[in-house]
Amino acid sequence: MLSFPSLTRKILLSGLMMATLAACDRQSGADKQPPAAIQSSGQSATAELPAGEVDRSHKGSRLPDMTFKDASGKTIRTTTLTGKPLLINLWATWCGPCVAELPELDRLAAQGKVQVLTLSQDTGAKEKVAAFLKDKGLTHLAPWLDPEAQAAMQWQVSTLPASIYYDAQGREVWRINGSKAWAGAEGASLLAEAGG
């Protein structure tokens, strides 16, 4: 028998997964979601990303204390990531817009002005996330895992990708449900709000 907190968590997780699936298609074969970065008529892949709405209603909220693991069991604790702006990104290997956003997040992480914490919402084989990032040549993004969607529940994420931005003191600046062109002028302006 499930306890009430356990049942509530399962219901929330189910609802989150249904909402996420509405945005990102997990189908396989000919009907699957098209590749993330389809380029047409000379436009960059960045121009193809759908714009996410910026939500500042949680501005000033403290960074929650959460711990995540990679496939090897190495852990990272969110509250140790202060001293520099922090961009937390929730994504999945099966989400086209998520995958389209990853190269820009990798370049952002390489620049070092902003810490980038990517949290995979994939379930199943833990090793597939690290292999996926390696295959894409994304060397600055660590394969942190969140298979139980604790981050999505914490930040009330309704779709993937989603990003939450904190200043160097661990106070929320904004969050976005949806992808963003991080290399563009709007992305740079958003990141500058916390000195990134």
Number of H helices, E strands in the chain: 5, 8
Condensed to tens digits (0 to 9), the pLDDT of residues 86-117 reads 999 999 999 999 999 999 999 999 999 999 99
CA atoms within 13 A on the CB side of 183: 16
pLDDT at 20: 44
Instruction: Determine the Cα–Cα distance for residues 116 and 128; give it in Å rounded to an integer.
Output: 20
Q: Is the pLDDT of residue 127 over 50?
A: yes
**Residue 37 — pLDDT band, cuts 50, 70, 90?**
very low
Report the candidate in 67, 52, 68, 85 with the shortest Cα–Cα distance to residue 169. Answer: 85
Is the separation of the CB atoms in 100 and 89 below 8 Å?
no
Q: Give residue 140's Cα distance to chain centre.
A: 14
Reading the block at residue 128, the tokens are 């597939």
pLDDT at 47: 38
pLDDT at 125: 81
**Residue 84 — pLDDT band, cuts 50, 70, 90?**
very high
| Residues 6+ away with beta carbon under 8 Å from 112 | none
Domain 4-24+48-192 = CATH 3.40.50.720? no
pLDDT at 53: 85
- For the beta carbon of residue 13, count every other beta carbon within 10 angstroms: 15
Is the separation of the CB atoms in 130 and 71 below 8 Å?
yes
Q: What mean pLDDT, rounded, does the chain reach?
A: 80
pTM across the whole model: 0.76
Q: Is the pLDDT of residue 36 over 90?
A: no
pLDDT at 51: 54
Instruction: Determine the Cα–Cα distance for residues 96 and 73; give it in Å rounded to an integer.
Output: 27
pLDDT at 54: 92
How large is the average pLDDT for residues 32-61? 53
Listing DSSP states for 27-81 in one string gives: --GGGSPPPTT---TT--GGGGSPPPEEE-TTTTPBPP--EEE-TT--EEEGGG-
For the CA atoms of the chain, what is the radius of gyration? 16
How large is the average pLDDT for residues 40-68? 70
pLDDT at 126: 85
How large is the average pLDDT for residues 71-93? 96
Condensed to tens digits (0 to 9), the pLDDT of residues 128-180 reads 999 999 999 999 999 999 999 999 999 998 899 999 999 999 999 999 999 88
Domain boundaries, the chain: 4-24+48-192
**Residue 24 — pLDDT band, cuts 50, 70, 90?**
low
Burial (0-12, 13-18, 19+ Cβ within 10 Å), 184: middle
What is the DSSP secondary structure assignment for residue 33, as one 8-state letter?
P
